[in-house]
Structure 1
Amino acid sequence: MATVHHWTGLEAKALRLALRLSVRTYAQQLGLATATVSKWESKLAGTEPRPDTQAILDTALARADTSVHLRFETLLSEMTSPLSAARRRITASGPRAWEYESWADDLDRVAIALSRQNFEFAGSLLSRWLVRFPAPELDEKGLYLHARSTTLLGDLKRDQGAVLGPLSAEHAYIDARAVFAQLDIPRRVAQIDLSLAVVTEMAGSLETAARKYEALAVDDRLSRRDRARARLWVGTALSKDGQHDYATRVMTAATRDFEELTEPDDWSVAHQKLALARRGAGDLAKALHHIEIARNSGTTESPMQRVRLDTAHGHILISDPATQDDGLLVLGQAAVVASQYGLVHQLRSIEGIKAMSEGLASPQQR
């Protein structure tokens, strides 16, 4: 797909012709005056759209289908003389000040989209910048934005369940870590290390993940909140590994930290993790107590968190034959939401819990 790094009237005209629109219709679709488009077409490479209009043209090109992109590239090749080729910037060049600002704004939008599990929109925003400005061509400010973008790409891949491999969360995090290390930003490097430990846990290497979390829980590069998260995740890994009692002690300490820090969402997640640890230890009464706290606290209501809470609740309910049917119903509802939002890792967890429940059921129950 073609990418324009800086629009002039020449590229704008080529896009109109590629879209096969009249000057008037093109202006209407872009939300601009017909006179503005006419000016582009008369001055071509001698005029440049305003920064906000550059973004409008970016969007129009990004939304075009493959045939339009092919016509656009062909027309540019035909329209460009040696002199104007030197003035065009289809090939990479460093971002301008307004592009840095737009890039930072888009990263805020990506964070919001990820919190809502809108992976398609988040991915399109990240691709827009990562494809446009390769890292070797960036100054320090650009590299920082590139590393933040790659970190968010890792978050996206992790939430989708793509944990290992060349197009995975692990790969994106490693790339981001290298840039933050190059920029000498220790806090960001440590945060990436924490994310990589989560990837290790998700991949099933629980003992290795627990050791990584333990080291990060006392790492001064991290904020107190991040250190508390690391401590909580030590407990998560230990609980998954069957060490439920010690896991509970570690998680309880992290829960106190979140309460002191006034972090209601983290506090809610901590109670969700405690609930699963108590379930693993066979104390279903305490497990239900903690999951009720988790369900009635926290301020973020995202599809991911709903699925996690319902999965934990369903896991506890099916552990008791008296509430097994209710548990399967809750897990079924969680699976529907997980499927709707493409939460592959959560779907695998739900299916694993169901399979385990069926394996433990007595012949009469089956």
Structure 2
Amino acid sequence: MRAFAEDLGVGVRTVTKWEALAADTTPRPVMQAVLDTALSRADADAKLRFELLLMEDGRAPIRGYYQGSPREWDYETWTDDLGRAAACLARQDFKFAASLVDRWLRRFDPHGLDNHGLYLHARSLVLLGDLQRDQGDIQGPLSARQTYKKAHQLFNDLDVPRRAAQVELSLAVVEEMGGRLQPAAKRYEMLADDGRLSARDRTRAQLWVGTALSKEGNNAYAVGVMDEATRRFEELEEPDDWSVAHQKLALAYRADGDLGNAVRFIGVALSNRSTESPMQRVRLDTAHAHILLSDKATSDSGVHLLTQAAATSSKYGLSHQLASIEGIRHAYEQAE
């Protein structure tokens, strides 16, 4: 009690009086403001205990706390759960990630949320879209595309341009995954020069211009674009993106018939692989296998690696990657 009084800057007798009279005392407005400030500085657990005491006492929620709507401690827990969900997605633990995101999307009606709540709702939608995209759900009413569009609208309404641009980048990825290569390349080109994005995201957009063009057969131009993105990743000191860029360059060289450079660049990617998630491992193994299959001397190793990548894709529910692997396998068998 003495420490609390000292923290508030009041006498111990004042705090003793509050303790004795409990609900029968009403602090003066100036002192109420001091108490409100103390509550605002408290941690989430203290705020939760305070609100539970009010509820047990049958009293109405205090100013800033709304019955049936998120409280401040809800927002802190929500933010923590979004971080946990992102970590689960990084290792393709889709089931737990979906549970963490879904509990918040279902808990509160977005029409009753303030701007803080709407921001967290939009971030939850982005994570749900990422989950749907990674599982290959890119078309239809319950697809990544529709989820991203909802998040994009919210970020625009909230006037958060950086987040809105990041969602536009994700929508372009979905376009590329759906085979709409020209629209995806054009969107990537626009975002590569978009000041709303960070330097890293702009460089990723530039790299993806190259991947879309390479898939369309424009390999010579794609190599130039991706080579520039690779240099920019090195300048930005982004080792993971730099490694991925080498992987994509290797595939572009393979498609252009330059197996020497394809082997050289995939070797760099393999030597600089970071701590891998299942998704990263599948992508790198698939790219490596694709290159190995292009040479009869290494084709057996390529088939083995492709089978390994397919097994990992099946285990983690990576349906888009599995479809890509089957396409590579079918093309190889047809060529044979």
Question: TM-score, normalized by length of structure 2?
Answer: 0.80
2:271 is equivalent to residue 280 of structure 1: no
* Residue in structure 1 matched with residue 117 of structure 2 by the alignment: 142
| CA drift at 1:320 | 1.2
Taking the TM superposition and a 5 Å limit, the aligned residue runs for 1:1-366 are 51=48, 93-361=68-336
TM-aligned CA deviation for residue 300 of structure 1: 3.4
For the 8 Å contact 1:267–1:298, the answer to whether it is kept is no
Q: Does the 8 Å contact 1:303/1:337 carry over to 2?
A: yes
In the TM superposition, residue 193 of structure 1 has moved relative to its aligned partner by 0.5
Change (3 A) 1:249 1:106: same
Amino acid corresponding to residue 161 of structure 1 in structure 2: G
Matches of 1:298 and 1:95, distance apart in 2: 42
Report percent identity of matched pairs: 60
Q: Is the 8 A contact 1:266 1:298 kept in 2?
A: no
Mark the structure with the bigger radius of gyration. 2
For residues 358 and 298 of structure 1, what CA distance do their matches in structure 2 show? 29
Tell me which amino acid in the other structure corresponds to 2:187: K
One-letter identity of the residue aligned with 2:272: S
TM-score, structure 1 length as denominator?
0.74
Q: CA deviation at 1:134?
A: 2.1
Distance in structure 1 (CA, Å) of the matches to 2:93 and 2:181: 29
Structure 2 unaligned runs (5+)? 1-45, 52-57, 62-66
How far apart in 2 are the matches of 1:102 and 1:298?
34
AA partner of residue 350 (structure 1): I
1:7 equivalent in structure 2:
none
Residues 287-323 of structure 1: CA deviation (Å, up to 9, x unaligned) = 1111111112143311100000000000011111221
- The alpha carbon displacement at 1:94 in A equals 1.4
Alpha carbons 1:265, 1:299 under 8 Å: kept: yes
RMSD of the alignment, in Å?
1.9
Separation in 1 of the partners of 2:275 and 2:216? Answer: 29
**Aligned mates of 1:145, 1:93 — CA distance in 2:** 17
- Letter of the structure 1 residue corresponding to residue 308 of structure 2: Q
Q: 1:93 to 1:313 in 2, by over 3 A?
A: same
Report how far residue 51 of structure 1 moved: 4.2
Matched AA of 2:82: L
Q: Quick one: distance in 1 between partners of 2:151 and 2:182?
A: 25
